[in-house]
Amino acid sequence: MKKYISIIIIFCLLLTSIPVIVGDQSNQTILYVDDDNREGPWDGSSTYPFQCINDAVQSAEQNTLIFIRNGYYPEQIIVDKSISFRGENKEETIVDGENLHGVFVIEGTDYIMIENLTITKGSQTESDLSAGIILIQTSHNIISNCIMKENDVGILISQNSSNCICYNNDISNNALGIDLCSSQKNLLYGNTISENGINLGLYNSENNLITKNNIINSEKNVEFFTSKDILQENYWGRETSFYLIFGFQYLTSIGITVPWFKCDFSPVSSKNGFNINPLVRMDTTMGSMTIELFSTEMPITSSNFIQLAEIDFFDNLVFHRVIDDFVIQGGGFYANGTEKESPLGTIELEIHPDINHVDGAISMARTNDPNSATSQFFICDGAQDRLDGQYAAFGKTIVGLDVLQAIASVETTTKYFFMKDWPVDDVIIQGIETIS
């Protein structure tokens, strides 16, 4: 009996010791749209696709993917449910607003993805402002790999919209490229915003992160009024050690508007001066974090994480080990203490000299065996230099550090076979969305 008790104690110590850290979209409903199917029947199947995008939207249930085949679609789409739109080829799948007030209009509905489309207004109306995509009082939407052209505004993110991601889009030849108006905590990453009347507008916005974009070839790259947004590592069309932007700020304390300036203190020197990395958005019961994965430097580890996310492996798992000022760890247990094993098995330890455990870094948990990592990961709450060279850091949190800190600060206890540092109130991973 003593022998078995000793084995159990040793096992528990391995799970909880420091610094050793232990470490399906295929079922998604798809509706098809093809403008060539003019004679019907129309049921949204691959064989008999809808002719119009709006017909698919009306028939779709929550979390449906609407796959739009190459063609020309003169429509305005009012999106009132959490669905995804994916074009077959962004150059050849064209949605034209045909003189309507916006092409895609999303108001008060969250978790929508729009990718691989050309979105254009065509011609302008005389009275209404038109936008390729309008986001109003909405959050957690993703716009990626789209072409936005010939609109009054390419993308309008307004009225307290938050946690939306614009990734790797080509936004050109609009009156205004992207307009962040009274919005916060959105991410503009890897976009080419060029040859617009004004490339980027920031109006009464705050805590939006604008990074790794090419913002070029416009008489006015940025226009801002009362902006508290962050610009870093963008290319502005020329080599420069910093990029200064002039605008206006409303000073609430004295009630006047004064000239102001913003600065990108870390611009890059060419449009190829940064890697456009894959992103993932991790939604939890305490908020969302957007994480940049270093797939070039850490290909094995990044690929393992992306593959698990794409089969919804992490859904409903918890952060089972939380230590303030150290790490939050998850990816292996349900709230009832049941362990979940990765179907991909173990991976080799990857180390890169330029990838360190900075504040917000995501890294792989493991046992004493360096090559034992599977699905469990941890995110650093504060820099953890002593883990460098020992664990596979493979990305960093670029939006949502406040969420990370909130999770790291929760009250913890001991649960399930002496597992220490388990939150008293479970923090659940609701899902991880890949953006690539």
Per-residue confidence band for 339, with pLDDT thresholds at 50, 70 and 90: very high
Instruction: Pick 14 or 224 by higher pLDDT.
Output: 224
**Average pLDDT score over residue span 338-357:** 96
CB atoms within 10 A of CB 431: 16
| Local confidence band at 27 (pLDDT 50, 70, 90 cut-offs) | low
Q: Report how far residue 300's alpha carbon sits from residue 374's, in angstroms, rounded to the nearest whole number.
A: 11
Please state whether beta strands 256-264 and 220-225 pair in parallel, antiparallel, or not at all (unpaired): unpaired
Reference 165, options 212, 201, 198, 123; nearest CA is 212
The residue written with tokens 């993308």 in the block is 155
Contacts of 19 (CB under 8 A, 6+ apart): 386, 387, 390
Tens digit of each residue's pLDDT (9 = 90 or more) over 49-80: 999 999 999 999 999 999 999 999 999 999 99
Contact 122, 94 (CB under 8 A): no
CA distance 231 to 245: 10
CATH architecture of 2-24+277-435: Beta Barrel (2.40)
The residue count of the chain comes to 436
The predicted structure's pLDDT at residue 193: 98
Instruction: Please tell me the distance from the alpha carbon of residue 429 to that of residue 51, in angstroms, as a whole number.
Output: 38
Structure tokens at 294: 């270093």
97 contacts 77 by C-beta, under 8 angstroms: no
Instruction: Kindly state the helix (H) or strand (E) to which residue 407 belongs, with its residue range.
Output: helix 401-408
Which phi and psi (to 5°) does residue 180 adopt?
Answer: -100, 105
pLDDT of 6 strictly over 80: no
Looking at the predicted structure, is the pLDDT value of residue 341 above 70? yes
Task: Please say whether the beta carbons of 192 and 213 come within 8 A.
Answer: yes
**427 Cβ partners below 8 Å, 6+ apart?**
284, 285, 286, 318, 319, 322, 328, 407, 410
pLDDT at position 10 is 38
Q: Look at phi and psi of residue 86 and say left if phi exceeds 0, alpha if psi is from -120 to 50, else beta.
A: beta
Binned at pLDDT 50, 70 and 90, residue 100 comes out as confident
Mean pLDDT across 211-236: 96
How do the domains of the chain map onto residue ranges? 2-24+277-435, 69-264
For residue 20, is pLDDT > 70? no
Banded pLDDT at 175 (limits 50, 70, 90): very high
Above 80 in pLDDT, residue 195?
yes
CATH number of 69-264: 2.160.20.10
Question: Per residue in 245-273, pLDDT tens?
Answer: 999 999 988 999 999 999 999 999 988 88
Closest CA to 214 of 198, 181, 236: 236
Quick check: helix, strand or coil at residue 31?
Answer: strand
Please tell me the predicted confidence (pLDDT) of residue 205. 97
Closest CA to 266 of 237, 315, 231, 300: 231
Q: Does the fold of domain 69-264 match that of domain 2-24+277-435?
A: no
Helix (H) or strand (E) holding 415: strand 412-415
